[in-house]
Amino acid sequence: MRKKVTKAIFPVAGMGTRFLPATKSVPKEIMTLVDRPLVQYAIDEARAAGIKEFIFVTSRGKGALEDYFDHAPQLEQELRKKGKDELLDILKSTNMDSGEIAYIRQHRALGLGHAVWCARRLIHNEPFAVMLPDDVIAAEKPCLQQMVEAYEETGGNMVAAMEVPAEKASSYGVLDVEEDMGSMVKVRGMVEKPPADEAPSNLAVIGRYILSPDVFRHLNKIKSGAGGEIQLTDAIAREITEGNGVYGYRFRGQRFDCGSKSGFLQATVAFGLSRDDLKDDLEGYLHEIMSARKAAE
Ligand code: G1P
């Protein structure tokens, strides 16, 4: 029997400089899509996939993140007293049990591979997930759950994958495909942020991974790669050289790059339009401004 994936690492140590000045005092992961912080979407997705332990790799200035995951007994009491049951339920649904969540400090910004490596002592000899909360994925069946189901068949290592325009491939980890089986591809190699003319394909890695603990062994040895950083992609690629399976999984769903302002705005609109309490107003407003812009052209 394959070991179940019950732990997930959330690398959240990045400074979020693209969102300055907001990120001067608010961690990027706490910024809200409609009314939920970015990180809540990742937690909900992880829970749906059977994750029981949530490991956050943080850095200085991320205190608000720990506070967000704390219980709020006073607030709960207030809402109870006022009979605001719906809000109380929303609040309580974000509570984390004691011991369910752990925080590790990444003391220096040495890259994604290094951030994951910082959590090595909390993962034993078991497969684990890595989730990058910047990549928000709207899907009928949450992306990580789709991957866990696929992983039960394949084992090995699995990364979420998505076709991107060829000129954008150099912003991603890119897969060199050995065999294309449709929703799944077998991977022959992986390159982190290849120069435009060297990308082996336009199938990009998106921030969801299911990894074998062997990846830590590779991270122990790996030197800095693309951008002078210790890259997770390079450690996963070593699995292939050792003859262990690496698969790309073309998930069903829409991915928003919430690490970019434009992606964040698009996600805000899309999530707003998917909400019963907001969609009419928002749709009306979008029509209005689009027609006003057309008329002004
Ligand atoms: C990271 C990974 C990259 C992956 C991307 C997905 O890059 O290193 O392989 O394609 O996330 O969002 P970053 O966007 O942090 O530079």
| Contact yes or no for 224/110 (Cβ under 8 A) | yes
pLDDT value of position 61? 85
Q: Report the atom number in ligand 1 closest to the C-alpha of 227.
A: 16
pLDDT value of position 227? 84
* Cα-to-centroid distance, 205 and ligand 1 (Å): 7
Helix (H, G, I), strand (E, B) or coil at 131: strand
CB-based pocket (< 6 A), ligand 1 = 112, 132, 135, 172-173, 192, 204-207, 232-233, 259
User: Which residues contact residue 182 at a Cβ distance below 8 angstroms, ignoring those fewer than 6 apart?
Assistant: 250
pTM, 2 dp: 0.94
pLDDT in tens, 154-185: 999 999 999 999 999 999 999 999 999 999 99
Task: Name residue, tokens 């942020």.
Answer: 193
- Listed in sequence order, the DSSP H helices in the chain are 38-48, 63-69, 73-81, 85-93, 112-117, 143-154, 214-221, 232-241, 261-273, 279-296
5-35 residues labelled b (16+ CB within 10 A) or e (exposed)? bebbbbbbbbbbeebeeebeebbbbbbebee
Tell me the CA distances in angstroms from 20 to 17, 148, 261, one per residue in order: 5, 35, 11
What domains does the chain contain, in order, with CATH numbers? 7-259 (3.90.550.10), 260-297 (no CATH)
Q: How confident is the model at residue 143 (pLDDT cuts 50, 70, 90)?
A: very high
* Cα-to-centroid distance, 69 and ligand 1 (Å): 25
Does the pLDDT at position 78 exceed 90?
Answer: yes
For the CA atoms of 221, 129, 140, 27, the dihedral, rounded to the nearest 10 degrees, stands at -80
Q: How confident is the model at residue 291 (pLDDT cuts 50, 70, 90)?
A: very high
C-alpha dihedral sign at 150, 151, 155, 160: positive
Ligand 1 site-directed mutation target among 29, 114, 132, most atoms within 8 Å of CB: 132
- The whole-angstrom separation of Cα 131 and Cα 292 is 40
pLDDT in tens, 22-75: 888 899 999 999 999 999 999 999 999 999 999 999 998 888 898 899 888 999
* Cα-to-centroid distance, 140 and ligand 1 (Å): 24
pLDDT value of position 16? 85
pLDDT in tens, 204-234: 999 999 999 999 999 999 888 888 899 999 9
Average pLDDT, the chain: 94
| Contact yes or no for 251/208 (Cβ under 8 A) | yes
Quote the percentage of the chain above a pLDDT of 90: 83
* Cα-to-centroid distance, 58 and ligand 1 (Å): 17
* Cα-to-centroid distance, 233 and ligand 1 (Å): 9
* Cα-to-centroid distance, 208 and ligand 1 (Å): 10
Q: Of residues 61 and 287, which shows the higher confidence score?
A: 287
Q: Report the atom number in ligand 1 closest to the C-alpha of 134.
A: 12
Exposure of 171 in the CB half-sphere (CA atoms within 13 A)? 12
**CB burial class (10 A; 0-12, 13-18, 19+) of residue 124?**
exposed
User: Which residues contact residue 149 at a Cβ distance below 8 angstroms, ignoring those fewer than 6 apart?
Assistant: none
